[in-house]
Structure 1
């Protein structure tokens, strides 16, 4: 089985009761809301990654104001017609950031097609990836370790 590691950096930008999100195409012609951010390029610092990705996906320049935490997830993608099975491990660095300039715009020819401010209270009703909820929990709880424990992990530690 092929193993693949992907390291990415994302920003939680909250202001006036809203969070900045980007919309990404999903399987089946649907769309999901995601945090602005994405994969690190070889040799790139995660701090630079998140700043570059937010600018690409939203048009905004940001100042990173803190490290909220790190999320890790593994998914096994079974054999398809064109690819062999892959065990993918994603390591996602989640920063807090504030907008310092630029203007909101949509990404052109990228991984997202829309950038928008969403009311925090409306997030549970949005079609979104799990990382949005994880990042908001990190933003609200601010665990000193930068790691959220799942209920089953709380009993082990």
Structure 2
């Protein structure tokens, strides 16, 4: 038996002075990997408002989303309790955003435990989720239809 899950989320690519703002995501198993700041939409929330809220929660910064870079759609299957499985569909809206205020800080009691700026040239050396690479590709390539080719 498969349970279908849809998660819609919004994320920010914030690049400034050759650095990108990332948040360190804490997995259920305790593993930690860098990701774009952002997260799931609340019911009835506009994705623009989601990315502003989530970046503030995870990094302390106020941001202004400037461009919708694209939409990333990922299908995964993962185990659930009692031997069932979930077909998980992650739909991620990725914005180019500029920091307009606030002070860098780490999130407390959330899905991330650290926020930091990283040199663009060093991103490949980070333990990161694939969304970081997808976001950077969207930011660099800026496909007119918001869709990256494989």
TM-score by length of 1: 0.91
Q: Are 2:133 and 1:133 equivalent residues in the alignment?
A: yes
Aligned to 2:94: 94
**Rounded Cα–Cα distance in structure 2 between residues aligned with 1:60 and 1:123:** 21
> Post-superposition shift, 1:30?
2.8
Structure having the higher strand fraction is 2
Q: String of CA shifts for 1:81-120, please: whole Å, max 9, x gaps.
A: 4462100000000000000000000001000000000000
Unaligned runs of at least 5 residues, structure 2 = none
Aligned to 2:11: 10
**Rounded Cα–Cα distance in structure 1 between residues aligned with 2:143 and 2:51:** 21
Count of aligned positions:
149
Unaligned runs of at least 5 residues, structure 1 = 151-157
**Rounded Cα–Cα distance in structure 1 between residues aligned with 2:133 and 2:54:** 19
In our comparison, the structure showing a higher alpha carbon Rg is 1
**Rounded Cα–Cα distance in structure 2 between residues aligned with 1:113 and 1:49:** 19
Aligned to 1:40: 41
**Rounded Cα–Cα distance in structure 2 between residues aligned with 1:83 and 1:6:** 22
Q: String of CA shifts for 1:43-95, please: whole Å, max 9, x gaps.
A: 000000000000000000001111100000000113x5446210000000000
**C-alpha spacing 1:65/1:83, structure 2 compared with 1 (3 Å):** farther
Aligned to 1:54: 55
**Rounded Cα–Cα distance in structure 2 between residues aligned with 1:3 and 1:59:** 33
- SS for the counterpart of 2:138 is helix
TM-score by length of 2: 0.95
